[in-house]
Amino acid sequence: MKKLPECTIEALQQLRELIVAVQNSGRPADDTYASSGIGRHVRHVIDHFRALAAGIECGVIDYNVRSRNSAIERDPERGLIEIFKLSEWLDTLQTGDAPVSVISEISCHLTENQEFRSNVNRELLYLINHTIHHVAYAALLARSCGVECREAIGFAPATASFLRQRPLPTDESPPYTAPN
């Protein structure tokens, strides 16, 4: 059975795969990565991983800390370097169910934060789902710019399991459509 940090790295690798697809598309990074918003999704995901890493050190994860308008949003290479560093960090993570507090904004109308009790494993699970969610949106943006992405990129783990359990299509099968 895989460990949670290993599965979290798998989610980050989908983000990496998307960045590489954009780089290999032959389109200028400014047009596809930065201007389309793909870079903002990459930066947002990385911000959450950085918040977890910092939070493990001090016991409080603050997901409100963001590096908006940073070079990661404009430069795909910066995103790839950060993903590599985070993957290395996750590969050595040993904290398991160590308790942490999580601070996050809870209102769209007022600046209002709330602090919750959690543990590192729960936050890794959150980051897997959060990452896949943003990869799915960024893949839609990439496709709208003409970037070819693997069809299953951005599928949630439960969706991937569902699809693995389906019989393989034959030549007579209707074309694949993603489940809702």
Confidence of residue 179 (pLDDT cuts 50, 70, 90): low
* Predicted local distance difference test score (pLDDT) of residue 174: 53
Q: Are 16 and 58 in contact (CB under 8 A)?
A: no
pTM of the model: 0.87
Q: How long is the chain? A: 180
Q: Report the mean per-residue pLDDT for the chain.
A: 90
Asked if the model's pLDDT at residue 138 lies above 90, the reply is: yes
Domain ranges of the chain: 4-165
Cβ atoms of 72 and 86 closer than 8 Å: no
CA–CA distance, 164 with 103 (Å, rounded to integer): 37
The lowest-confidence range among 63-67, 101-105, 168-172 is 168-172
Residue 180 has pLDDT above 60, yes or no: no
In this structure, are residues 39 and 73 in contact, taking their beta carbons and an 8 Å threshold? yes
Q: Say which DSSP state 112 is in.
A: -
4-165: which CATH number, 1.20.1250.20, 1.20.120.450, 3.30.310.50, 1.10.510.10? 1.20.120.450
